[in-house]
Amino acid sequence: MQLFHHYASELSEICSQVKPFPVTRARVAMRNETLAKDLGIDIAELETPALLSALFSNDGELQKNSIAQKYGGHQFGQWNPHLGDGRGLLLGEIKSPAGQFWDLHLKGAGPTPYSRHADGRAVLRSTIREYLASEALYALGIPSSRSLCLLTSEEPVQREQLERGAMMIRTCESHLRFGHFEFFHHSNQPEQLEALFAYSFKYHFPECLDSDSPHQAMFQTIVDNTALMIAKWQAYGFNHGVMNTDNMSIHGITFDYGPYAFLDDFIPEYVCNRSDHNGRYAFDQQPSIGLWNLNALAHAFTPFMQIEDIKTVLMSYEVTLLNEYQTLMKRRLGLYEQAFNEQKLAAEIDIVVSEWMDILKDETADFHQSFRVVSEHLLSIENQEYNNISDFFVNAERVKSWCESYRDIQQKLFDISGNNWAKTQSNMLAVNPKFILRNHLAQEAIAAAEDDDFSLCEALITVLSSPFDDHPEFARFAKPPADPEKGIALSCSS
């Protein structure tokens, strides 16, 4: 495994060299073999003896130039300059066979200069949750960091109670956050800020250097990618839970998983973080918080851009997000086809989509099951047999009326596109997951792993990696939770 150390060598003044600190009786419990292959990593290097040697021995390749990054961030709207990698280390960058560089980052590595008197550890519970969630989002087409491997241990770690310590190596394009740029701007370190921008252009936004205004092009890319990511969160019912600016990636990827949740019942104002007493990061607030965070980031661009240009870029956020969200929702309902011009039916399509979402909201219906039910019983709508769908709802007559309107608009679309019900059903089944990472399932897998049984984790990875397939042997994972298991909220220590 050949590592590069671009960040450590070129930005040495804004990071700290730190060696990972081993945990008691560590062993590799989960390995992402598909990801390892994509990165060109020999799976043998992720065996316990080889990995522990690479991480902790004096000549170990993964610890030679490990660093902790310095940054700040707006946490629940309040500026905090005292942040940084408090429990994670950038081990280096690896070059994939495709020629792209990827960060290898160790979570739970022990204390760093930015730990703020904390232990620098991660617990098994939180690492499992991140491992599962990152693969779940990736399979849904939502940009995310990904987990390469997870190490369990017998190290006791105190959180709300005593838990088992764990480590995880995760990968993404980089770990540069909004908070990196914010910190060096707000701390009045222009040379370091310029160095950070230069590094970003060189390794992550080289295409922007061809622009008349590279900083504006970079900011536009960040705004666009953030908008697209959050649109996907909203379309697939994902609540991040802690959208602080130090948890926001400049690449528009989901990372720093904490008390996240996929919706169970469709409750737009749902809050998955029980520490979020004011609902700042509620599910339906995520689009506006995304813009708030981009406004916070924009301050770091003011030395390089005119204010009017910054405003122009920020104004594009809402348009990009809404267009992507509407496209995704139409696609989930089989009402989107690039093969024809839908403008003449746009208003009717919007009404059908809006009414469907109102039904889900008014009935607090299960968000994921509802889309899957329509997909699986689409041919029943063709045959005007609406009970197969309406039986899942309380107000059956309202749903039947919706089915009739839906059938009418589909027939109009088919007349234009030449599409048909069977093809549309196939398309819908490919974008409406049968399996989703429910919090009660994650909790069940964690409980088993605490007893050294990772079979449930592996089973969940199987269905979450191909969530649109049937997997009859794991049918129970597709069922919505019972009422006591719905809407589980977790703390930031998750």
For the question of residue 256 being annotated catalytic, the response is no
- Domain parsing of the chain, residue ranges: 3-175, 179-187+203-330
Residue 164 has pLDDT above 60, yes or no: yes
Percentage with pLDDT > 70 across the chain:
98
d(CA 126, CA 90): 19
pLDDT band at 493 (very low <50, low <70, confident <90, very high): low
Given a cut of 90, is residue 60 above it in pLDDT? yes
CB atoms within 10 A of CB 161: 7
pLDDT tens across 308-352, in order? Answer: 999 999 999 999 999 999 999 999 999 976 555 667 788 999 999
Average confidence score pLDDT of the chain: 96
pLDDT value at position 338? Answer: 56
Give me the catalytic one of 38, 42, 59, 246: 246
Predicted pLDDT of residue 342? 64
- Pick the closest to residue 330 from 316, 346, 313, 309 (CA basis): 346
> What is the distance between the alpha carbons of residues 170 and 105, in angstroms, rounded to a whole number?
5
pLDDT tens digits for 296-312?
999 999 999 999 999 99
Q: Kindly state the tokens that stand for 294.
A: 């981009």
pLDDT value of residue 117:
86
The CA radius of gyration of the chain, in Å to the nearest whole number, is 23
* Assigned token pair, 201: 């252009």
Residue 107, pLDDT > 70, answer yes
* Rounded CA separation 476/293 (Å): 39
